[in-house]
Amino acid sequence: MPVTRTSSPGRELIERFEGLFLRTYDDGEGVLTIGYGHTSAAGAPVVSRGTAITSSQADEIRTNDLHPCERRVARLVTASLNQNEFDALVSFEFNTGDLGRSSIPAKINAGRKADAMDTLSRYVHGANSGKLYPGLVRRRKAERLIFEGDVEGALQLAGGHLGSADVTPRRAGSIGVGVGPPQRSNNSPPPPKRSLVAAFLSAVLAIWKGKST
């Protein structure tokens, strides 16, 4: 039976790289994003400024966003894929939307899987800005690892945990996934404030320096 659905490790890889955001944020290239990298271009729900969702709604939206990516992988790649290979390509398509415009499916169908992964590894720049993003380099490496069967290594490379500030940029593609700097999760604590003691000592030091000059 051909593989048609993303596995649990495959979904975890995507979630770790996308990060979970329960309120709208700008992805860095002007695209409003929410949940696990969801944008209006991917379909319902439409993302507006000030939109807020729950964790369960984010899970549902992610599942709905995954289905068309899974269908595109199954349609474009006619060669037999194992679960890990399928998961890697779904992650790539979810992030870029570029699988159908790339030579990756043709190379896999021709039995040139290593060449296909070399091509995948080049998708590390913002679609609008052309800027090289280290987070995309890391994601492409993880996708290649999982494609080659190293699921544990791929998840370790993804690193972090859901809801953390360790979220990698994303690459713009046909489904509207964009790139941007790491964003702080709604569940993450705010940056620490400067203590009153530190502020007082700084003021005293400034006065002392003024008198000594």
18 catalytic per annotation: yes
Q: What percent of the chain has pLDDT over 70?
A: 74
Q: What is the pLDDT of residues 103-121, one digit of tens each?
A: 999 999 999 999 999 999 9
Residue 98 lies in a domain: yes
CA 138 centroid distance within chain: 10
In this predicted model, which residue has the larger pLDDT, 201 or 98?
Answer: 98
Q: Quick check: 152 pLDDT over 60?
A: yes
* pLDDT band with cut points at 50, 70 and 90 for residue 94: very high
CATH at residue 118: 1.10.530.40
What's the total number of domains in the chain? 1
Residue 84 CB neighbours (<10 A): 20
- Supply the pLDDT for residue 205: 57
Angle of helix 8-18 relative to helix 83-96, nearest 10 degrees?
Answer: 30
Question: Model confidence over 27-44: pLDDT tens digits?
Answer: 776 789 999 999 988 889
Alpha-carbon 180 to chain mean position: 10
H or E stretch at 197: helix 196-212
61 located within any domain: yes
Is 2 among the domain residues? no
Query: Domain residues for 149?
Result: 8-212
Q: One of 15, 18, 70, 143 is an active-site residue; which one?
A: 18
Asked whether residue 207 is domain-assigned, the answer is yes
pLDDT band at 206 (very low <50, low <70, confident <90, very high): low
The reported pLDDT for the residue numbered 191 is 36
Asked if residue 93 is part of any domain, the answer here is: yes
Q: Is residue 3 part of a domain?
A: no
Residue 100 lies inside a defined structural domain of this protein:
yes
3-class secondary structure, 205: helix
Residue 127 lies in a domain: yes
